[in-house]
Amino acid sequence: MKRHSWMRKQQWAGYAFILPNMVGILLFFIIPALFSFGLMFTNYQFANPNVSFTGLDNLKRMFQDDQFYRAIKHTGIFLLSVPVSLVLAFLVALVLNRSVYLKGLLRGMFFLPYISSGVAVAFVWMLLFQPSHGPINEALRWIGIASPPGWFADSDTAMYAIDIVQVWFMLGYNMIIYLAALQEVSAEQMEAATIDGAGKGTITWKIVWPLVSPTTFLLLVTGLIMTMKSFAIIQAITQGGPSGSTTILSLYVYKTAFSYYEMGYASTVSWFLFAVILVITIVQWIGQKRWVHY
Amino acid sequence: MRKSKWWMASMSVVLTAGLLAGCGSNGDAKEGGASSPSGSSESSGNSGSSGSKTKLTLWGAVPAEAGPQAVIDAWNSENPDIEVEYLRYVNDDGGNLKLDTALMTGQDADLFISYSLTRLQKRVDAGVALDLSAKADYDIDAQMGPDAALWKIDGKYYGMPTKKNMSFIWLNKQMLDDAGLPVPPLDWTWDDLKAYAVKLKKDNVYGLLQHDSSYTATLDGTIAGLGDTNAEGKSNFNNELWKSHLQTLHDMMFVDKSTPEYGEQLTSKMPVDTMFLKGEAAMLSAGEFIFRNANNLAEFPHDFQIAFATVPRVTADQKDFKYPGGLGDALSVNAKSKNQDAAWKFAKWYADGGMLPMASGGRLPSSKSVSSDEAIKLLLQGVENMYDVDSLNKVVFGSFESFQLSIPQQVIDARKEEYEKYFLNKQDLDTTLANMAKRHEEFIK
């Protein structure tokens, strides 16, 4: 009995400690989120007091909106950057996990993009990808490609160019997490495999890769969620252009809400985005049994 | 165990909610308590009998050091009872959102300047712009001239257009002289400009550069004459004049190579004004705001004279072409402000000469109460020899039939996406025009 009341007291203290944070989450996240759910069914224009309920009009509009479907396609291309970045990060981590010269320096260099400002990163890549005299295209011309791609200046390649930037941006973070996971892989297992005659490739893909699968799962889930929500790099480099070719779903929401002030419609699209993220995450959660080995 | 956890969780939510409610009511009480004394001070400020100060906030997009600070410093020393503070917002989506939020939530924004009719329209819809035509002591039509009427919304003024808007072609007179070309006549066309650009281009010197803000000047001036839609309510975007103009620009990019390719300009974020002042282009299509840099010989040194030409029309026989220009900088009083009388007093003072310190940056007052000689003197102070006087007088200080663009942002963006596809060679010209019209119609439907 006595012990019970003591526990209770402690619990209250715990709740008191998390209270400030909870208030913040409630005020700035949960309440606005619920509010935006309500906005879905209105024609609310930002700052405009004339609001009326329009039922499912916004949903109807969304499913007839060419730009919405275009944004979904672009989001899909953008998401390709996640698995590519994961595999590359794994390989880099493997190399850096062995004894190579200047390990610390290299690790720092790979991680550097992650802590740099997005806008600075954007400007660097704009210079690199400059179509007529940027270093990348100069190099391509030098090795004999007469008409290299226009990268950000071409609506067919812009989204893939953005992918490259995103892969580079995420690489360092993913690599650090993989490095930590690789420390956990026991040397005995690898030694045993070597004695059994397994080659380097076999060890890497049949033993190490499965052993770090929980890390891969974590990075995949968080990476997909983050990538779907983020558009800072795109906004800094192309603002969704040229001719809308890099407008992903989250940027489309931003434009609809803060450029056109169509809050009702923007809420609808953002709840769709939320539903997609939720479904993808659930599918991954269920699917993990097949390939994640704890 | 599970049950008790659930109970705890819901309990904590209730608790937080309770605390929140407490916070809320507490906040209200505080606000209520504070508002009564401040309210009384405001009323006394309005009556002007007591010595307490009224504080006003003016929102504008010009950097404070480029004139606004001097303007409000002058006001504050003349009017000790009404203190004005200038708050700069950046005139982009983010900046306008900030201003609209401030206006909507009743934060300190008693006066604000809108830079386009579409933005002002949104503020009128939101009910935050005071109807200034109802004021008996100031006749905007008479003071600002006939161009002011383009800023009317539903027949009323919700902002007073305080400055002359101007957009024209800046010419490097030295390069014109070297090429043996005269300053072009006022009624020149895009074909003429195209021919000029070919003759003027050299290695590392473009014939023509266009500033973002002037990129669609000819498209806009043309549609302003034609009207957005025809008699049947169909979009007028699919018109021959636009077709001809877009074709000309495309030829200049890819055939003549006298102007940068669109993708190139877009991705390298060309600083076109700096390039022109450095002598890397012979002609620049841009607004009067370039004066700010062109007059600054310390940071933008150049030794050539600058001459001016109008934005060309598409064809010589184009009848109803309207020139980009007219009036701009619409100053509004917040309809939710508690100090509307003081704000209105400031607005009149600002329009009728208070804004003069901004003339040196190219913002010439539109009110007839301001002597234009004085404004021009301020504009050209110390740089009189840097401009070709004849074309300056004819073009910059000339008067042309103008327009205010009232096409919604969604339609402007859709139009841009389509002409971008044409300039990036992803779509032919006929499809481009058809798509522009189609997307315009989808929006107005």
Q: Do A155 and B421 touch (CB under 8 A)?
A: yes
Candidate from A27, A50, A261 with C-beta closest to B122: A261
Q: Which residues of B touch A131 (CB under 8 A)?
A: 263-264, 267
Q: Is the pLDDT of residue A31 over 70?
A: yes
Is residue B20 in a domain?
A: no
Q: Are residues B304 and B238 in the same domain?
A: yes
Q: Are residues B350 and B315 in the same domain?
A: no
Q: Are residues B107 and B222 in the same domain?
A: no
pLDDT (0 to 100) of residue B26: 37
Is residue B433 in a domain?
A: yes
Q: Are residues B94 and B80 in the same domain?
A: yes
Q: Which residue has the higher pLDDT, B43 or A16?
A: A16
Q: Are residues B273 and B407 in the same domain?
A: yes
Confidence category of residue B44, pLDDT binned at 50, 70, 90: very low
Is residue B3 in a domain?
A: no
Residue A128 touches chain B, beta carbons under 8 Å: no
- Min Cα separation A244/chain B (Å): 6
- Min Cα separation A154/chain B (Å): 7
Is residue B157 in a domain?
A: yes
pLDDT tens per residue, range A201-230: 888 888 888 888 889 999 999 999 889 888
Helix axes B409-423, B429-444, angle to 10 degrees: 170
Confidence category of residue A69, pLDDT binned at 50, 70, 90: very high
Residue B4 touches chain A, beta carbons under 8 Å: no
Is residue B377 in a domain?
A: no
Q: Are residues B249 and B235 in the same domain?
A: yes
Is residue B103 in a domain?
A: yes
pLDDT tens per residue, range B385-408: 899 988 988 888 887 888 888 888
When pLDDT is averaged across residues B351-358 and rounded to a whole number, the result is 88
Give the pairing type, strands B111-114 and B167-172: unpaired
Q: Are residues B122 and B138 in the same domain?
A: yes
pLDDT (0 to 100) of residue B27: 34
When pLDDT is averaged across residues B119-133 and rounded to a whole number, the result is 90
Q: Are residues B285 and B319 in the same domain?
A: yes
pLDDT (0 to 100) of residue B33: 34
Give the residue from B370, B398, B431 where a domain finishes. Answer: B370
Q: Are residues B194 and B319 in the same domain?
A: yes
pLDDT (0 to 100) of residue A3: 59
Give the residue from B370, B405, B436 where a domain finishes. Answer: B370
Instruction: Using CA coordinates, name the residue in chain B closest to A13.
Output: B12
Q: Are residues B295 and B407 in the same domain?
A: yes
Residue A25 touches chain B, beta carbons under 8 Å: no
User: Residue B233 sits in which domain range?
Assistant: 167-324+390-444
Confidence category of residue B275, pLDDT binned at 50, 70, 90: very high
Count the domains in chain B: 2
In B, residues 392-431, which contact A (CB 8 Å cutoff)? 409-410, 413, 416-418, 420-421, 424, 426
Per-residue DSSP letter, B189: B
* Reported ipTM: 0.82
Q: Are residues B147 and B60 in the same domain?
A: yes
pLDDT (0 to 100) of residue B34: 35
Per-residue DSSP letter, B393: I
Residue B213 touches chain A, beta carbons under 8 Å: no
Confidence category of residue B150, pLDDT binned at 50, 70, 90: confident
Which two three-digit tokens encode residue A280? 């993808």
Instruction: Give residue limits of the domains in chain A.
Output: 57-291
Q: Do A47 and B128 touch (CB under 8 A)?
A: yes
Residues B247/B419, Cβ–Cβ less than 8 Å = no
Residue B152 touches chain A, beta carbons under 8 Å: no
Which two three-digit tokens encode residue B225? 């004459």
Q: Do A244 and B103 touch (CB under 8 A)?
A: no
The domain that holds B126 is classified in CATH as: 3.40.190.10
Q: Are residues B145 and B172 in the same domain?
A: no
Is residue B408 in a domain?
A: yes
Residues with Cβ < 8 Å from B74, sequence gap 6 or more? B354, B357
Which two three-digit tokens encode residue B83? 């203190």
Candidate from B15, B93, B126 with C-beta closest to A47: B126
Q: Is the pLDDT of residue B25 over 50?
A: no
Distance of CA B205 to the CA centre of its chain: 29
Q: Count other Cβ atoms within 10 Å, centred on residue A174.
A: 27
pLDDT (0 to 100) of residue A148: 86
Q: Do A260 and B17 touch (CB under 8 A)?
A: no
The CATH class of the A57-291 domain is mainly alpha
Give the residue from B338, B370, B402 where a domain finishes. Answer: B370
In B, residues 6-45, which contact A (CB 8 Å cutoff)? 8, 12, 15-17, 19-20, 23
Residue A153 touches chain B, beta carbons under 8 Å: yes
